[in-house]
């Protein structure tokens, strides 16, 4: 068939063109960042270097300790390898779900491509490759120091690292295929009105099952059995990660065989097994799934248009159904009509974006799993040293959770107002009121979530009520500081052209917010933990104990007030 008779370009030609366009775009963005924001490149390079160095040191020390552990050290290290890659596999599926929805259904570039004279499945193929690249680089970055340390501890040859790099290629493709199939199915389900209530009900049932499920290890078992007898019981919960039908276990077995001399043939077998399934899945994605993409895209837009038409008809007939959110808004409106309107506007925007609320549900689910697994710490913390150490580790985990929450969901809130932000500037509230509303909404929401998390974890750990109150007050102070930091930096570094919250967070302001949050959490936990650890270990403290909480209070106030003050001054002269 001649080129005139076939108006559609060939798939390979399109892929080369798309790849060239993406490469030119990345080069342009890097050149712009290097020219306008050299500090961003320096911060990112420093962060990457520090993670690689410290990650390698920590993983090497941990793996070395495990292999020196008598009897069960090698088995425990191998089981951890299975668990890590099993976790990576699940995270890749979830990441491809979220990224796939953003790139396929909420991307202006995809909508523009669909209007051009090209096959819809060709657009799907390119977006599939793009989603694989975006979701897999984090896996390589996170696991690089771990595998480097594993190779050093095992004293492997240099070919081991080349083999692992090749093994990653089919490993990241398989969850991408699974995620692409799931997103096409879920988009059609999201177009139905019953989807959100059913998903919320299922999530509530899962949380109840996690908290009411049987503990894998009880206090009586720990007290009545030796360490060697308890090892199979302790490892029972990780048995699912070693299932031979999971691609993550294939990669773990390949790495394990490659690390031992003489087992290269077994490693190649599992690598070829991964490759065959990856190629078969890619063929299905490029043929079958690509043909259903346009139907799912039409269903998503059709459900949105149907909902808007239904709401407009209800407004015209004045028979609009009062939802629970509308009922709550009506009850709270007398308190402050303007602020209540802004708060519920943000809630509605959040609820209408599946990318936002699904990420929040995953985030909340991980919190529930974390709290539920605290019950597995079956020993009673009768020793002051362990009680103090674990309680401050719990504070550090809660602080990191809080920093992730504020950076991911609070920082982009001001930018998500978009080019319509000038309307809010002309309103009686003004842009200063908008910034303050973002701060108070974030502070109240994050304080409620983190205090509930801290109170529940303190009760599970059997901490005295004085310590529980102290940690709850500390997390409230951290909530105020991190909310002020995220809301302030979000107004100082807005990006009104971008509609994707993930890309807004990955900007200079989002990176700066994340780095400052981590440094702040580390400083607060260290300042509060050191005096208590000195006290329980009997070491003399050269400064008064009340000095540490005072310094934490000053640092928290500075982190909260300074960005907010700069943001309130900045929005006075903001040009849209």
pLDDT tens, residue order, the chain (576 aa): 444 445 566 777 777 888 888 788 778 877 776 776 676 677 777 877 887 888 888 888 888 877 777 666 677 777 788 888 888 888 888 878 877 777 777 777 777 877 777 787 788 888 888 888 877 777 777 788 888 888 888 888 888 888 888 888 889 889 888 888 888 777 777 666 666 677 777 767 776 776 666 555 555 555 544 444 455 655 666 677 777 888 888 888 888 888 876 577 888 888 899 999 989 888 888 887 777 777 777 776 666 656 656 666 655 565 555 666 666 666 666 666 777 777 777 777 777 776 677 777 777 777 777 776 666 654 545 566 777 788 888 888 888 888 888 888 888 888 877 777 777 777 777 788 888 888 888 888 888 888 888 888 888 777 888 888 898 899 999 999 999 999 888 888 887 777 777 777 767 777 788 888 888 988 898 888 888 887 777 777 777 778 888 998 999 999 989 988 888 888 777 655
13: its two tokens: 């030609």
377, 311: one domain: no
342, 420: one domain: yes
Crossing angle of helices 324-332 and 337-352, in 10° steps, is 160
Query: What is d(CA 474, CA 524) in angstroms, rounded to the nearest whole number?
Result: 9
Residue 346 in contact with residue 413, Cβ under 8 Å?
Answer: yes
Query: What is d(CA 232, CA 221) in angstroms, rounded to the nearest whole number?
Result: 12
**Cβ-based burial of 383 (10 A; exposed 0-12, middle 13-18, buried ≥19):** exposed
223, 280: one domain: yes
The residue out of 317, 348, 367 marking a domain boundary is 317
Using the CB atoms, write b or e for 331-354: b if 16+ within 10 Å.
eeeeeeeebbebbbebeeeeeebb
Q: Is residue 313 part of a domain?
A: yes
342, 411: one domain: yes
Domain count across the chain: 2
DSSP reduced 3-state for 189: helix
Q: Is residue 25 part of a domain?
A: no
445, 572: one domain: yes
Query: What is d(CA 266, CA 532) in angstroms, rounded to the nearest whole number?
Result: 52
Q: Is residue 57 part of a domain?
A: yes
309, 259: one domain: yes
The residue out of 284, 317, 350 marking a domain boundary is 317
294, 421: one domain: no
383, 508: one domain: yes
* Chain mean position to CA 107: 20
For residue 404, give its domain range: 335-576
Q: Is residue 17 part of a domain?
A: no
DSSP reduced 3-state for 1: coil
**Cβ-based burial of 89 (10 A; exposed 0-12, middle 13-18, buried ≥19):** buried
341, 313: one domain: no
**Cβ-based burial of 26 (10 A; exposed 0-12, middle 13-18, buried ≥19):** exposed
Q: Is residue 411 part of a domain?
A: yes
- What is the number of other CB atoms lying within 10 angstroms of the CB of residue 68? 8
Residue 484 in contact with residue 559, Cβ under 8 Å?
Answer: yes
Q: Is residue 12 part of a domain?
A: no
Q: Is residue 329 part of a domain?
A: no
305, 251: one domain: yes
515: its two tokens: 């780095």
What is the residue whose two structure tokens read 């089981």? 79
* Chain mean position to CA 128: 20
262, 359: one domain: no
Q: Is residue 28 part of a domain?
A: no
The residue out of 317, 346, 377 marking a domain boundary is 317
Query: What is d(CA 144, CA 43) in angstroms, rounded to the nearest whole number?
Result: 20
Q: What are phi and psi of 545, to 5 degrees?
A: -70, -25
560, 479: one domain: yes
* Number of residues in the chain: 576
């Amino acid at each position: 068939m001649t080129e005139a008779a076939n108006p559609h370009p060939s798939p390979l030609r399109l892929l080369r063109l798309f790849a060239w366009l993406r490469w030119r775009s990345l080069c342009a963005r890097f050149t712009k960042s290097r020219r306008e924001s050299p500090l961003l490149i320096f911060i990112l390079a420093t962060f990457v270097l520090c993670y690689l160095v410290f990650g390698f040191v920590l993983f090497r020390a941990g793996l070395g300790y495990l292999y020196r552990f008598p009897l069960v050290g090698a088995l425990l290290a191998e089981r951890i390898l299975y668990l890590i890659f099993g976790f990576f596999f699940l995270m890749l599926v979830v990441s491809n779900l979220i990224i796939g929805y953003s790139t396929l259904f909420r991307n202006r570039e995809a909508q523009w491509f669909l209007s051009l004279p090209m096959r819809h499945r060709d657009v799907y193929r390119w977006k599939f490759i793009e989603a694989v690249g975006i979701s897999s680089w984090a896996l390589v970055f996170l696991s690089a120091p771990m595998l480097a340390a594993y190779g050093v501890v095992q004293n492997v040859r240099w070919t081991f690292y080349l083999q692992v790099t090749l093994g990653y290629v089919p490993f990241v493709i398989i969850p991408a295929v699974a995620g692409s199939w799931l997103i096409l199915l879920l988009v059609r389900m999201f177009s139905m009105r019953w989807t959100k209530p059913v998903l919320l009900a299922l999530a509530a049932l899962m949380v109840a099952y996690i908290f009411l499920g049987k503990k894998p290890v009880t206090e009586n078992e720990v007290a009545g059995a030796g360490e060697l007898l308890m090892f199979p019981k302790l490892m029972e919960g990780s048995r699912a990660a070693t299932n031979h039908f999971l691609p993550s276990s294939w990669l773990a077995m390949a790495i394990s065989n490659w690390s031992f001399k003489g087992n290269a043939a077994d490693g190649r077998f599992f690598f070829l097994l991964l490759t065959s399934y990856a190629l078969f899945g890619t063929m299905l994605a490029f043929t079958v799934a690509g043909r259903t993409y346009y139907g799912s895209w039409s269903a998503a837009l059709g459900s949105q248009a149907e909902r808007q038409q239904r709401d407009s008809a209800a407004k015209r007939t004045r028979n609009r159904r009062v939802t629970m959110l509308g009922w709550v808004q009506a009850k709270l409106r007398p308190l402050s009509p303007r602020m209540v309107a802004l708060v519920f506007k943000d809630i509605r925007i959040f609820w209408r974006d599946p990318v936002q609320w699904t990420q929040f549900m995953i985030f909340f689910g991980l919190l529930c799993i974390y709290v539920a697994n605290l019950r597995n710490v079956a020993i009673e913390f009768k020793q002051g040293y362990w009680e103090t150490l674990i309680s401050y580790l719990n504070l550090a985990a809660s602080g990191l959770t809080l920093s992730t929450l504020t950076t991911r969901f609070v920082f982009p809130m001001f930018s998500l107002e978009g080019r319509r932000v000038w309307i809010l500037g002309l309103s009686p509230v003004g842009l200063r009121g908008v910034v303050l509303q973002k701060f108070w909404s974030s502070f109240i929401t994050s304080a409620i979530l983190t205090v509930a998390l801290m109170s529940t974890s303190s009760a599970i750990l059997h901490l005295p009520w004085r310590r529980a109150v102290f940690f709850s007050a500390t997390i409230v102070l951290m909530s105020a500081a991190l909310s002020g930091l995220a809301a302030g930096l979000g107004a100082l570094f807005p990006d009104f052209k971008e509609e994707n919250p993930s890309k807004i967070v990955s900007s200079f302001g989002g990176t700066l917010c994340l780095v400052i949050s981590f440094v702040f959490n580390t400083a607060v936990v260290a300042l509060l933990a050191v005096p208590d650890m000195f006290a329980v270990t009997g070491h003399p403290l050269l400064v008064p104990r009340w000095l540490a909480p005072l310094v934490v209070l000053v640092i928290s106030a500075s982190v909260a007030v300074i960005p907010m003050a700069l943001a309130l001054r900045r929005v006075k002269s903001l040009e849209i």
